[in-house]
Structure 1
Amino acid sequence: MSTETDVDGGDTGDSLTLALAQLHVDAGEVEANVERALAAVSRAADRGADLVALPELFNVGYFAFDLYARNAEPFGGETFTRLREAAADHGIAVLAGSIVEDLAATESVETPAADGFSNTAALFDADGERRLVYRKHHLFGYESAESELLVPGETLETATIGGMTVGVTTCYDLRFPELYRRLVDAGAELILVPSAWPYPRIEHWQTLSRARAIENQAYVATINGSGEFEEATLLGRSSVYDPWGVPLASSGDEATLITTEIDPRTVVDVRDEFPALRDRRR
């Protein structure tokens, strides 16, 4: 049985309050997992957060590969609809970490030029409006069936939330720094990374996340899950790194809610003080 605690990362001034919901995820227990997500949205709103982010495949569980097809939903399906409504009800922006999206069943503007299933995240603003869709670009093949079961995304979007330009990548994407450069070139100041990162690769998880913050002089927030699967155990350790790579808030491996303040002025100040991005040679 999981328990949840709350962790505060401190206040850096007049800024955006970010919450990371490190949820306990039970394989295939979609209703229970979604209820935990909705409760986390409510709790984050009660704590004054402007934006709350959820982990990768929080509803079905990343390592529940045999349940992907059975639990796939169109973009406008029940999971995203409930979280979109929760965002509007609580007046808080929500990154719905990701779900298995049934591309063939998705209709309207979100439909990509492909069938099959996708690892899809959506960002809803505090009015419940869709602001960003991200389909995971790099699909994991090492001891994982993800690359066999899903198709990769092709588009990369940013959105403005609380005065900050926000981008999204997912888990394994952390190993591909060129993706983050593209987001920074598009103006990203905060990059959210919903994940299902397992033991034992703790050093990779922490080092790659911190490196992406340092080299792009941007906030990077990694949102991991908690829980055990037959094939793996999620290591938690969700964290927020500032543009210097300094951790502002972090967790252990149990379910928790992290909140911290982030300031878009810090991104500007760091890039002005140490103009590494301007020194790039293309």
Structure 2
Amino acid sequence: MKPLRIALYQGPSGVPRTTEESLAALDDAARRAAATGAALLATAEMYLTGYALGDAVATLAEPADGPGAQRVAKIAAEHRVAIVYGYPERDGERVFNSAQFIGPDGVRLANYRKTHLFGEFEARHFTAGDELIVQATLDGLTVGLLICYDVEFPENVRAHALAGTDLIVVPTALMRPFEVVPQTLVPARAFESQLYLAYANRAGAEGEFHFAGLSCLAGPDGVAHARAGTGEDLVFADVDPVRLRASRRQNPYLRDRRPELYGPLA
């Protein structure tokens, strides 16, 4: 299997824009990603609408097959690049903080609802998802989805590793001063669970939130193979299945686990 090139789009930066502006920026990022040979473009948490929405979350939320999803599908198919993006999802009276995975043909591959909500804003406006392992296949790789705070729980990443996930894509809205997460924790998660982690953050200030940027692709060697700055950025790196298999053979963490001792963790 050949490496899968992934693009991380850290933008648009600054105050929340309209969904139309977000889609126009996504179309441009997808065009640039496809021009480099990228097969997958990952964007931030709540990409379509912006994160700092307050009570407008309920108004802007749309179904998983809503107009925003249809536009993203059209962009993916036009540029022949898969896209993972964050958005507020409405399902009846409930609103979820969700991430959707659209294939390069414009077909939806997966939809994930954030399971670990962060802070008062999210707890007030969203319902927590209850399905941890959401996966799809892209170019022979098993791709899983988490959102921001989810990746800070080692149990979540380990569960994906045990379920056969090769790459976890993590749309993110990480604020300052928590730069330790992309700088230290994300590479450590990739190393300890022997997989790739694509962490696509927001950048700039939105209302009371100041996002840290520093999007990265971390590998099973515990190294960030691509790293964005603190402003709008588009960075590229490869997910190499050959190196992943070799690393898994050499690293004993998953083999040396003793699940019979872990009962208290539940």
TM-score band w.r.t. shorter chain:
over 0.9
Q: Which amino acid aligns with 2:254?
A: L
Aligned residue among 127, 131, 138 for 2:105:
127
2:63 aligns to what? Answer: 74
Q: Which moved more, 1:26-35 or 1:236-245?
A: 26-35
Aligned residue among 64, 69, 73 for 1:84:
73
| CA deviation map 1:18-50 (0-9, x unaligned) | 111111243252221221122111211122111
Structure 1 residue 157 and structure 2 residue 146: aligned?
A: no
8 Å CA contact 1:60, 1:67 repeated in 2 = no
Structure 1 residue 247 and structure 2 residue 235: aligned?
A: no
Q: Which amino acid aligns with 1:14?
A: K
Structure 1 residue 49 and structure 2 residue 38: aligned?
A: yes
8 Å CA contact 1:28, 1:64 repeated in 2 = no
Q: Which amino acid aligns with 1:41?
A: A
| CA deviation map 1:50-86 (0-9, x unaligned) | 1111110012211222221121111111111111111
In 1, Cα distance between equivalents of 2:64 and 2:214: 29
Q: Which moved more, 1:30-39 or 1:216-225?
A: 30-39
1:173 aligns to what? Answer: 150
1:200 is paired with a residue whose SS is coil
Q: Which amino acid aligns with 1:246?
A: V
2:123 aligns to what? Answer: 147
TM-score, normalising length from structure 2? 0.92
Aligned residue among 40, 48, 53 for 1:59:
48
Give identity over the alignment, percent: 36
1:238 aligns to what? Answer: 215
In 2, Cα distance between equivalents of 1:266 and 1:65: 43
Runs (5+) with no aligned partner, structure 1: 1-12, 105-114
2:101 is paired with a residue whose SS is strand
8 Å CA contact 2:220, 2:247 repeated in 1 = yes
1:278 is paired with a residue whose SS is coil
Aligned residue among 67, 78, 99 for 2:87:
99
8 Å CA contact 1:20, 1:54 repeated in 2 = yes
In 1, Cα distance between equivalents of 2:19 and 2:204: 14
Q: Which amino acid aligns with 2:187?
A: R
8 Å CA contact 1:20, 1:238 repeated in 2 = yes
Superposed displacement of residue 126, structure 1: 1.1
Aligned residue among 169, 186, 189 for 1:212:
189
Runs (5+) with no aligned partner, structure 2: 260-266
1:145 is paired with a residue whose SS is helix
In 2, Cα distance between equivalents of 1:44 and 1:136: 26
- Displacement over 6 Å in runs of 4+: none
2:255 is paired with a residue whose SS is helix
In 2, Cα distance between equivalents of 1:238 and 1:28: 20
Higher relative CO (CA 8 A, sep ≥ 6), structure 1 or 2?
A: 1
8 Å CA contact 2:6, 2:41 repeated in 1 = yes
For these two proteins, the number of residue pairs brought into alignment is 257
8 Å CA contact 1:158, 1:167 repeated in 2 = yes
RMSD of aligned alpha carbons: 1.4
